[in-house]
Structure 1
C-alpha cells in the first residue's frame, strides 16, 4: 500500500489538520490486515446518518469500490483507485457532475476516502518495468480497511437504536391508546375526578409529538404519557376502593341495627386506645378514613393547593383529594407511595400531607421520600398533621386566624348536638 507521506489537495481545495490526521492514520494499519470491501460498504451504508452521508454518497462509494479489482482490501495491496469523473458518472447511474463532486467531498469529509492528488490534479497510475503499479493518484480507500472495526460498531449501534426507537414508538402508541380510552370510559361512566384537566394534559402531550420524532423526543413523551396513565389508573383504583369501603360500612351499619344481641364489650367503656382510633392499623382494619382537621384550616395553611382544584378552587374534601392526586404527579411522588400514605393516614389526611409538601416545596429535596417517611412515622404513631399545619400558619403570618377557624370548627358539632 502506498501513502507513507502526506499530500495536499490540488487547486483551491484547502488543506486542514483533519486531512493530515487521516492521511497519517492510514499509514498505521495493522500488518497483514484484510477485510471484505462489500462488508465494509454495508457497514458504511448502515451508519450513513452518523457519518453525515446521503444515499447519493453511497452510490459514489459503490462506484469507487467497483474500480478496485479484488473483493478483499489488504494492508499490503495498492488501495488507490483512479477513475475519471466520466467513468464514475457511468457507474454511479448517470449522476450529474456537480452532484458527483459534492458527494466525493462528503466522503472525504466523513473520513471514508482520502484524496491523493497529482501535480496537475489528474488521476492516473505509473507502472514499473515489471508492469506493476509503482505510484497512483486518485482516491485512497485504505481508510475503509483502517476503520473496519469502528464502522462495524457504528452500524451495530445504529441497528440497535433503530430497534429501540421502533419499540419506543410502539409503546407510545399503546400508551396513547390506553390513556385515550381510559379517559373516554371515565367520562362516559361518570367517574369522579377532574377528567377535563386530565384530557387537556393528554392533548398537550399528543401535540408535542413531532412529525419525524427522534428517539430522545419519543422517550421523553413516553415517560410523561406513562406517568399520566399511571395517574388515571390510580385515580380509578382509589375511587373503587372508596366505593367498596362505603359499601362495607353500609353493610356493617345495617347488620348492627338489625342485631338483637348485645355484646358485653359494647356495654362496657372502651380503653383510651380504643376510643381514639388513631392507629393506622385500626384504620386499615376497619376500612375507615379519618378527618381530624377543618378544611378551612388546611386551606389557610396551604393556599397553593387551591390552584389545582376543579376550576382553580377547593370547596370540599373531595376537591382537595382530587387536587392532591394532580399535585402528587407534579411533585414526582409515585402512586405506590401515595397509596401507602392513604392507607396509613386516611385519604383526607394524605391529601393534607401532599398540600403541606407542596407549600414547603422549596425546602424538600425529594417529595416522594418525605411522604414515605411521614407514612412510616404515622404507622408508628409518631406523626400528626396538626403541628405541621400550625407551623405553616405561623410562617405565613396567619396566627390570628387559627383560633377563629378552630372555634368555628368546634362550634358546628355542638350546635348539631344541641339540635
Structure 2
C-alpha cells in the first residue's frame, strides 16, 4: 500500500484514526475531480448544519480558499495553501489567533481540510528551478474536493427541505387566515351554527404551531387546519344554499300564482277587454267609450330626464295621485311633485310587489315609461286583492302589444270607485 499520503501532525498534537481515514479518502478520491471553489463553498454553506460547522468556521474556510490561486480545485494543481497566521487572520475578518485555531480544528474534524505540517510546524512551500511549487506545507483542501459530490447532494437535499418548509408555512398561513376570517364573518352576521366550538378548535390548532418547526410537523398541523376549514366552509355553503332555495321557492310561487290566478283581480284578465273593469254599475255603461280611452303615446324606456311629459293630455298628475294616493309615500321625502318622481317611486314599488326586472322592462317597452308608472300605482292601490302583480302586468303587457290596452279606463275605474259604493272598489270588479 502506498503510504505517501500519510502525514502526522507537528508537536504534541496526536494522530487519530479519523485523521488517517480522511487522508486516505482525500488521496484516493480526488483524481480527475474538478470543482469551482466558490460554487463548492456555497454548497458547504448550504449544508453547514449537516456538516457540523459554524458560520465562523465557514469564514475561515472562505479565507483559506482565497489563498488558492485558481478558481478550479484540481488535484493536478496542488491543493495545499500555506498562509501565515497573520495573513489568515486578516482575511478571516480580523479573527483572533485563538479563535482562528479553534475553527481550524473544527474544519479538520468535519473532514473538510487536512493539516500537512512541515518538519518545524511552519507553513511554507519549496519551489524548483522553474519556480513551480515542488513541496508545500500548510492546509490541504483535498478532503473538500474529495467530498464535493457528497456535499452537493447534501446541499440539494437541504435546499429542497427548505423549499418544502416554505411551502408548508405559506399554505398554513393562508389556511389559518381563511378560517379566522370565515369564522369572524359568521359570528358578525349571527349565522346559525356552532361557531363558538369551531373558534375554540381553531385556537387549539394555532396553539400547536411551534416557533421553529420542520416541514413534517407543519404538514400535520396543516391537515388539521384544512379539516377545520372544510367544516367552516361546509356550514357557510349550507347557509348560502338555504337562502338560494328560499329565493327559488319564492320565485316559483309567483309563477304558479300567475298560471293559476285565484283572486278576483287575477280572474279579470280572462275578460276580452280589461277596459271593462271600470264599468259604471249605476248606469251599466262601460268606460270603454269614455274620452280617456285614447291610446297613450309610447315613450323611451330610459330614465333620467328632468321632467317627463304626461302620457295623455287629459290625464293630469293630480288625477293619478287622487286615484292612487298610496304611491305618494314612496316618492322623494314622501311626496310626488312631478312625473319624474312618480316614475322613481314606482320603480321601487315594482320590486316591493315582486315584479321581476324582465317583466318591468317588457311592460315599459310595450306601454311606455309613464304609462307603466300609472299601472304600477294602480296595482299598489289594489295590492291586497292581487295574488300575482307580476303575472297581471305581463298579461297587460301582451294586451298593450296587441293594441288592446289603455291605462285611462284603469285609472278612471279607481277615480269613480268612491262614487259607486262610498269606498274604492277595484279593477277586479266584474262587469255585471
User: TM-score normalised to the size of structure 1?
Assistant: 0.54
Greater RCO (CA < 8 Å, at least 6 residues apart): 2
Aligned pairs, number:
260
| Unaligned runs of at least 5 residues, structure 2 | 261-432
Structure 1 stretches lacking a partner, 5+ long? 261-419
Bigger drift between 45-54 and 81-90 goes to 45-54
Q: 1:191-219: per-residue Cα shift (whole Å, max 9, x none)?
A: 33322222122112222323343333333
After superposition, the C-alpha distances for 1:224-262 in whole angstroms (9 at most, x for unaligned) are 2122111211233345556667888999999999999xx
Q: Is the 8 A contact 1:3 1:23 kept in 2?
A: no
Residue 16 (structure 1) shift: 4.0
- 2:65 aligned partner: 65
1:111 is displaced (CA, Å) by 2.1
Structure 1 position 86, deviation (Å)? 1.5
Matched, 1:56 2:56: yes
SS at match of 1:76: helix
Deviations 1:316-371 (A, max 9, x none): xxxxxxxxxxxxxxxxxxxxxxxxxxxxxxxxxxxxxxxxxxxxxxxxxxxxxxxx
**Superimposed CA distance per residue, residues 257-310 of structure 1 (whole angstroms, 9 cap, x where no aligned partner):** 9999xxxxxxxxxxxxxxxxxxxxxxxxxxxxxxxxxxxxxxxxxxxxxxxxxx
User: How is 1:52-201 mapped onto 2 (pairs within 5 angstroms)?
Assistant: 52-128=52-128, 131-201=131-201
SS in 2 for 1:190: coil
1:85: how far off? 1.7
Q: Which residue is equivalent to 2:417? A: none
Is the CA contact 2:125–2:136 (under 8 Å) kept in the aligned structure 1? Answer: yes
1:28 deviates by: 1.8
Separation in 2, partners of 1:222, 1:179: 12
Which stretch shows the higher mean deviation, 182-191 or 204-213? 204-213
1:140: Cα distance to partner?
0.8
Question: In the aligned structure 2, how far is the partner of 1:15 from the partner of 1:250?
Answer: 92
Cα deviation for residue 22 of structure 1 reads 1.8
Work out the CA distance in 2 between the residues paired with 1:133 and 1:190. 84
Closer, same or farther: CA 14–126 of 1 in aligned 2, 3 Å: same
More helix by share: 1
Q: How does 1:202-281 map to 2 (within 5 A)?
A: 202-241=202-241
Once residues 162 and 237 of structure 2 are traced to their aligned partners in structure 1, the CA distance between those partners, rounded to angstroms, is 36
Contact 1:117 1:138 in 2 (8 A): yes
Q: How does 1:370-389 map to 2 (within 5 A)?
A: none
CA contact (8 A) 2:60 2:92 kept: yes
Residue aligned with 1:223, SS: helix
Find the aligned partners of 2:245 and 2:17 in 1 and give their Cα distance.
75
TM-score of the aligned structures, taking structure 2 as reference length: 0.52
Tell me, what secondary structure is at the counterpart of 1:185? helix
Shift of residue 147, structure 1, vs aligned partner: 2.5
Q: Give 2:409's aligned residue.
A: none
Question: In structure 1, what is the equivalent of residue 22 of structure 2?
Answer: 22
TM-align CA RMSD? 3.4
Q: Distance in 1 between matches of 2:242 and 2:12?
A: 79
CA deviation map 1:86-118 (0-9, x unaligned): 221011121122221222122222222122234
* Contact preservation (8 Å) 1:10, 1:117: yes
SS in 1 for 2:77: coil
Query: Equivalents in 2 of 1:238, 1:6: separation in Å?
Result: 77
SS at match of 2:101: helix
Q: Take 1:119 and 1:78, find their aligned partners in 2: how far apart are those partners? A: 19
Cα gap change, 1:47 to 1:3, in 2 (>3 Å): farther
CA 1:220–1:106 in structure 2 vs 1: closer, same or farther (change >3 Å)?
Answer: farther
Paired residues of 2:27 and 2:142 also in contact (CA < 8 A)? no
Mapped partners of 1:31, 1:226: distance in 2: 53
